[in-house]
Structure 1
Amino acid sequence: MDDAVRTDVDARSGVGTITLNRPQQRNPLSSSTMRLVTAALRMFGGDSSVRAVVIAADGPVFSAGHDLSEMVDRTLEEEQAIFDVCVEMMDAVQQIPQPVIAAVQGPAIAAGCQLAASCDLVVAADSAVFGTPGVRIGLFCSTPMVALSRAVGRKRAMQMLLTGDTIDAHTAADWGLVNVVVAPADLDAQVRALATRITSASPLTLQIGKQAFYRQIDLPQDEAYAAMAGTMATNAVTCDAQEGMSAFLEKRTPVWLGK
């Protein structure tokens, strides 16, 4: 894999990590980098030994967003292709069966903010900031808006989008964009602890739950309940659910079979 993106797997914990590796350029999300991230996500998604995925970045910046140098003097078709690649990457984050955690150590800007917001969970160092400043350069952050508005709600998203101002990690946590804020030195340990806590559950149950969450989140309540009643019934007859309920009643540790 191109060195713009690095991947590794901790065999003991089953946590796969995708690291943006262009720190001198502020980890831009060029078309080639986004394709590499998408490929890494799909690779991990198809590997049953990988129980959770972390998206991280080297250097002081998580990601400054799109590589603007590839967006100047382009045709409409060429610009469309860039954003299609971006959407494909964001969709892949939520389509793979494993939980995806963003480990944000520094500024997550524009499409970088979008990438963090698209992840299932976000752990941020207190040095991180989040922003969608495209309005200031004449390019409204319309695709970042999709993920951002689903994380922080309409008014707060509009504030970030219309002003282009950044928010700090603690504000991002208050607004619902970030789950946990930690000291920079504690970021990796906190991410690993969270991933380990999650992966103690049945991998099949995690997959069912993640898929169900995104399927129901934008449905009207009655449709969501109807869909989720069927999902929960189907989940209840799996081997892992039966094992988990039996283990609870028998006061023992469950043994997951992944089926």
Structure 2
Amino acid sequence: MPDKEVIYEIKEGIAYITMNRPEKLNAIDPPMRQLLWDSFQDVKNNPEVRCAIVTGAGRAFSTGHDLVAMASARANEGPTTGDLYVVQSQIYKPIIAAINGICLAQGCGIALGSDIRIASSGAQFGWPQAKRGISSVSGPALLSQVVPRNIAFEFLFTGDFVDAQKALQLMLVNYVVEPDEVMPKAEEMAQKIIANAPLSIAAIKEAAIKGSEMGLEERVAFAQAKRDEVLKTEDAKEGVRAFAEKRAPVWQGR
């Protein structure tokens, strides 16, 4: 029996989501898409999860849609490509993409749907759909929100790939590290994050995501409302007490 196409584990508050079709460079077929959606739903709803790391098994993060599977009668079963990006945007917990290798098309979409991106020095990025006579969801919907539109259009119109250093220059990724340092760097970042107050993190992310759809006055008002909610929590009181007492805070998530 083949291994599951997505391995989902929770260790000490960190959810690990590993795309697991290394022989296919983690190309995403309908069963994998369903498992990814299920994993993201658990990250969203499971109170034990404070942060998530998404990565790929083998030498690729993901090459995007499995084009062979796209041609099958079952290609449209289960969650859609867009459903994955939407559920990622509804998770008010940090998601870190540990980009261990080539990252294309829908793979790039999953990476861009993450909050912090750490890339291997050997990673490559691209949206080659136009070379295959198909269109992109993540390119128009997500890439154009991360880089200037002219840069996004160059990616999408040419289908050219860029290496990790160029991706860093374009601010597609936060860090570029050696291949064997990708997961350690992601885990180091996750540990820094979960050391902080979970309600504060959730409020910050929700305000940033929802605020991006608002005008300035609405954005400020929404961010202030989220801040005021957090100020009423036990964690806020604990943070102030711990600072005054010169000790590490003990977060309760309430």
TM-score of the superposed pair, with normalisation by structure 1: 0.90
Q: What is aligned with 1:194?
A: 189
Matching of residue 45 in structure 1 with residue 40 in structure 2: no
Question: How far apart, CA to CA, are the structure 2 residues paired with 1:72 and 1:57?
Answer: 24
Matching of residue 87 in structure 1 with residue 86 in structure 2: no
Residues 73, 202 of structure 1: CA spacing in aligned structure 2 closer, same or farther, 3 A cutoff? closer
| 1:199-218 alignment, distance < 5 Å | 199-218=194-213
Bigger share in helix:
1
Q: What is aligned with 1:9?
A: 10
Instruction: Flag structure 1 segments of 5+ consecutive residues without an equivalent.
Output: none
Q: Which amino acid aligns with 1:64?
A: T
Counterpart of 1:171 in 2: which secondary structure?
Answer: helix
Q: What is aligned with 2:98?
A: 103
Alpha-carbon distance, 1:73 to partner: 7.0
Counterpart of 2:60 in 1: which secondary structure?
Answer: coil
| 1:55-74 alignment, distance < 5 Å | 55-72=54-71
Q: What is aligned with 2:179?
A: 184
Residues 40, 246 of structure 1: CA spacing in aligned structure 2 closer, same or farther, 3 A cutoff? same
Question: How far apart, CA to CA, are the structure 1 residues paired with 2:173 and 2:45?
Answer: 27
Asked if the contact 1:53–1:99 (Cα under 8 Å) also holds between the matched residues in 2, the reply is yes
Alpha-carbon distance, 1:223 to partner: 2.0
Matching of residue 137 in structure 1 with residue 123 in structure 2: no
The number of residue pairs the alignment matches comes to 253
Alpha-carbon distance, 1:2 to partner: 6.3
Alpha-carbon distance, 1:140 to partner: 2.3
Asked if the contact 1:57–1:63 (Cα under 8 Å) also holds between the matched residues in 2, the reply is yes
Asked if the contact 2:22–2:57 (Cα under 8 Å) also holds between the matched residues in 1, the reply is yes
Percent identity over paired residues: 31
Counterpart of 2:48 in 1: which secondary structure?
Answer: coil
Q: What is aligned with 1:26?
A: 25
Q: Which amino acid aligns with 2:200?
A: T
Question: How far apart, CA to CA, are the structure 1 residues paired with 2:81 and 2:110?
Answer: 9
Q: Which moved more, 1:190-199 or 1:206-215?
A: 206-215
Alpha-carbon distance, 1:246 to partner: 3.3
Deviations 1:148-198 (A, max 9, x none): 111223121111111111111121122121111100011111111000001
Question: How far apart, CA to CA, are the structure 1 residues paired with 2:146 and 2:243?
Answer: 34
Counterpart of 1:101 in 2: which secondary structure?
Answer: strand
Question: How far apart, CA to CA, are the structure 2 residues paired with 1:87 and 1:142?
Answer: 7
Question: How far apart, CA to CA, are the structure 1 residues paired with 2:94 and 2:128?
Answer: 28
Deviations 1:40-74 (A, max 9, x none): 12123322222211111111111111111232376
Q: What is aligned with 1:36?
A: 35
Asked if the contact 1:114–1:145 (Cα under 8 Å) also holds between the matched residues in 2, the reply is no
Counterpart of 2:61 in 1: which secondary structure?
Answer: coil
Asked if the contact 2:235–2:252 (Cα under 8 Å) also holds between the matched residues in 1, the reply is yes
Task: Select the residue among 225, 229, 234 that pairs with 1:234.
Answer: 229
TM-score of the superposed pair, with normalisation by structure 2: 0.92
Instruction: Flag structure 2 segments of 5+ consecutive residues without an equivalent.
Output: none
Question: How far apart, CA to CA, are the structure 1 residues paired with 2:175 and 2:212?
Answer: 22
Question: How far apart, CA to CA, are the structure 2 residues paired with 1:235 and 1:118?
Answer: 25
Residues 70, 52 of structure 1: CA spacing in aligned structure 2 closer, same or farther, 3 A cutoff? same
Counterpart of 2:9 in 1: which secondary structure?
Answer: strand
